Structure 1
Amino acid sequence: MKAVPALTEHPSSADLPTTMRAARFDAATRELAIRQVPVPLPGPGEVLVRVAACGICQSDLSQLDGHIAPRLPEITPGHEAAGVVAALGEGVRNRQVGDRVVLAAGKECGDCSECRTGGGTDRCEDLQVMAFHYDGAWAEYVLTAAVSLVDVPRSVPLEHAAVLADAVSTPYGAIDTAELRAAESVGIWGLGGLGTHLVQLARICGASPIIALDPLASARERALELGADFALDPAAADTAARIKEITAGRGLRAAFDCVGRSTTFAQADAALGHRGRLVLIGISPDQLAVGREIHFVRNRHSVIGHTGYRMRHLEDLVELTDRGRLDVSGSVTAVLPLDEVAEGVRRLRDHDGDPIRILLAP
């Protein structure tokens, strides 16, 4: 693991600049370029955060590569961010300039039935996702709702907090979706940012055994170091037999597909035991099919789509990191300046160095 330079925390000032640097993605030309744009000013209930670190996520690549249709003609990507509060909008009482915070990657729509009855972000039926519905944090400053912030203790570096904001919180939310219980067998397909953290979190939650699957030998070795009981190559001819052997013929109680391809979906579903649950996390353009209906129905399999997380998940993870129960220091593969965003995207796209998380420090 290469040493990562410490990030500079930027104390706030009442004298905000009028412009800032931001990575802007043009949906029509698919161009990603650093541009000078106005610094947004917080409205009622909003907070402006000076970004200390923001991750480059596979879902960012999915938008850049066209697998996720852009919702806006031009947007600033980046939804895994932490930083320091720089300015407060009208009515914000629970924040102060200078607070160290991590940003949840979404906000309530304000229009659905849950929002109209006060359900808030955790129950919104049309959650607005940062970097897709509104500008994200590949920029010097980012605007967000005050209620979407979680305090970061001094014991937690801001680059670690940024990793929590999706790469860790999304798999933690997926464990909740799967209703995973202690001593249940787990299979995890894909050991990138999401899958690597799923291994750690499944271990914390008491899953047993934990089987990690990835074609990269280095990713499998890393999974074993982080708590997997077994690490298998999904392309090996004996993988299905090995899963049966490891689970004493019962199959998996829970499987997590962090890849989302038709091949990983089919293999994960086939590995499920009676009443097994398959949770889909990864994003791809593939069409998915559950296979023979009689097998799926008779074995009472469940396939559940999962995205995002709840505010309490992010709060839990900050607590676990603060207490030393969760260590994400090894997840920060590199920290690059904002001007090198294209290089960071290339490294993730090409799996250069088998990155878990590449961060931008604006």
Structure 2
Amino acid sequence: MTTTMLAERLDTRARKVRLEEIPIPEPGPGEVLVKVAYCGICQSDLSLIQGHLPASRDVVTQGHEASGVIVRTGPGVIGWAEGDRVIPSAGRPCGRCRACRRGAFTDCYDLQLMAFAYDGAWAEYHVAQALGLTRVPDNVDMAQAALLADAVSTPFAAVVRTAQVHAGNAVGIWGVGGVGTHLVQLARLAGGVPIIAVDLNDAALERARRLGADHTFRADDPDLGAKITEATGGRMIDVAFDAVGLPQTVRQCIAYLDTNGRAVSVGLSEQDIDAGPFLDFNLHRKQLRGHLGYKSQDIGMLAELLSYGRLDLSGSISQVVALADVEEGIAALAEKRGNPIRILVQP
């Protein structure tokens, strides 16, 4: 192994991306060195570049949705060996807060986010904590495996944990881009019926129908309410997801809920939430829940679903770019060329 590697480096002060040759990091106690196979380009990566998310470091390597192979283990690592195919967790618990002190590491109050608080995996190698690794089954494609650490695990946790979707729930999904498309697939897997996709992009709606949506409607359709009423047989929506993060989308989610229905906000923005009139919200006992992230075990469940053929993410890989072309991949996502679900970097 050489002593240096190629890595993308973001100067968060100047908002400039550059490729650099930097030393290959050494794994410390409880850590492993992973040779990166693939790493996704996420909207939050763009938000950090554009200054919409606060920076934790002046310079950082981005990329938090990775898969790879362990090439070196640090002191004290047990249960892992060189050659193991893994998915690193996209966060590290602080080890000091009240949740960490009682062993609830996934509920850490000061979680350190990969590619924000510490270097990510738009690089040839990445140092990861052994504690948060997930093993990739031998029959699972490593490109699809990379999607699990956020792009799929966050909507998975939104469906099964925050929203608690179960068989027979009428599910509405506002915004069927990267996150919303996976919400469609996972809500179908959880037994949601019917599944209704709402967006302003006709191509995205057609893709959502191919991947499991039973009905697709435009958000600006003046007859949207009547169409949802007809699609649900008049009972309206049990669980609605806002994958956009705008006042108008969460407002529509709540407006079309059934009594005791749950709206889950997954999309992020700096704008204020609009839940509509108190009279409607309280009279029908509607609920609005915020969602962020996932638990480490969710990645393992998803890897098993891929292994057994219950989930197919091959259609989620819109493009693969070399690490040297990472800026092209960033631009393609920012400009939404071809309505990408996920663009992957392959070092």
TM-score of the alignment, normalized to the shorter chain, above 0.5: yes
Residue identity opposite 1:130 in structure 2: M
Partner of 2:121: 137
Residue 187 of structure 2 aligns to a residue whose secondary structure is: helix
Aligned to 1:174: 158
Q: Which residue in 2 is equivalent to 1:159?
A: 143
The amino acid that maps onto 2:153 is: S
Instruction: Please give the secondary structure, in 1, of the residue aligned with 2:69.
Output: strand
Return the offset for 1:68. Answer: 1.0
Give yes or no for contact 1:59–1:283 (8 Å, CA) kept in 2.
Answer: no
* Aligned equivalents of 2:346, 2:15: Cα separation in 1: 23
What are the within-5 Å matches in structure 2 for residues 194-209 of structure 1? 194-209=179-194
TM-score (norm 2): 0.97
Residue 294 of structure 1: how far off its partner (Å): 2.0
The Cα offsets for residues 206-229 of structure 1, whole Å up to 9 and x where unpaired, read as 001100112111111111111111
Separation (CA, whole Å) in 1 of partners of 2:259 and 2:232: 12
Select between 24-33 and 297-306 the one with higher mean Cα deviation.
Answer: 297-306
1:47-93, CA deviations, whole angstroms, 9 ceiling, x for partnerless residues?
A: 11110100001111111112211111111111100000011111001
* Shift, 1:191, TM fit: 1.1
Once the two structures are TM-superposed, the CA of residue 164 in structure 1 deviates from its matched residue by 1.4
Residue 146 of structure 1 pairs with residue 146 of structure 2: no
State the 1:31 CA deviation: 0.2
For residue 29 of structure 1, what is the aligned residue in structure 2? 14
| 2:202 corresponding residue in structure 1 | 217
Report Cα offsets for 1:192-246 as digits up to 9, x if no partner: 1111111111111100110011211111111111111101111221112211221
Counterparts of 1:17 and 1:240 in 2: how far apart (Å)?
Answer: 61
Q: Distance in 2 between matches of 1:28 and 1:172?
A: 34
Q: 2:130 corresponds to which letter in structure 1?
A: A
Q: Would you say the 8 A contact 1:46–1:88 is kept in 2? A: yes
Residue in 2 aligned with 1:79? 64
Quote the sequence identity (%): 48
Helix, strand or coil for the counterpart of 2:53?
A: coil
Between the aligned partners of 1:128 and 1:298, the Cα distance in structure 2 is 40
Q: How far apart are the structure 2 equivalents of 1:51 and 1:332?
A: 17
Contact 1:45 1:145 in 2 (8 A): yes
In the other structure, the counterpart of 1:11 is none
The 3-state SS of whatever aligns with 2:204 is: helix
Q: How many residues align?
A: 346
Distance in 1 between residues matched to 2:96 and 2:59, nearest whole Å: 24
Once structures 1 and 2 are overlaid, which stretch shifts more, 17-26 or 86-95? 17-26
Structure 1: gaps spanning 5 or more residues: 1-15
Q: Following the alignment from structure 1 to structure 2, what is the Cα–Cα distance between the partners of residues 32 and 71?
A: 16
Partner of 1:10: none
Distance in 2 (CA, whole Å) between partners of 1:272 and 1:343 is: 41
Query: Which one of the candidate residues 26, 36, 46 is aligned to 2:31?
Result: 46
1:1-362 to structure 2, matched below 5 A, reads 16-120=1-105, 122-175=106-159, 176-362=161-347
Tell me how far apart the structure 2 counterparts of residues 289 and 212 of structure 1 sit (CA, whole Å): 20
Q: TM-score with structure 1 length normalisation?
A: 0.93
d(CA) in 1 for partners of 2:109 and 2:166? 27
Q: Would the aligned equivalents of 2:248 and 2:274 in 1 still touch at CA under 8 Å?
A: no
Q: CA RMSD in A?
A: 1.2
Q: Secondary structure in 2 aligned to 1:242?
A: helix
Deviations 1:251-293 (A, max 9, x none): 2111111110112111111111111111111112222222212
Q: 3-state SS of the aligned residue for 1:165?
A: helix
Q: Aligned partners of 1:281, 1:37: CA distance in 2, in Å?
A: 36
3-state secondary structure, aligned to 1:276 = strand
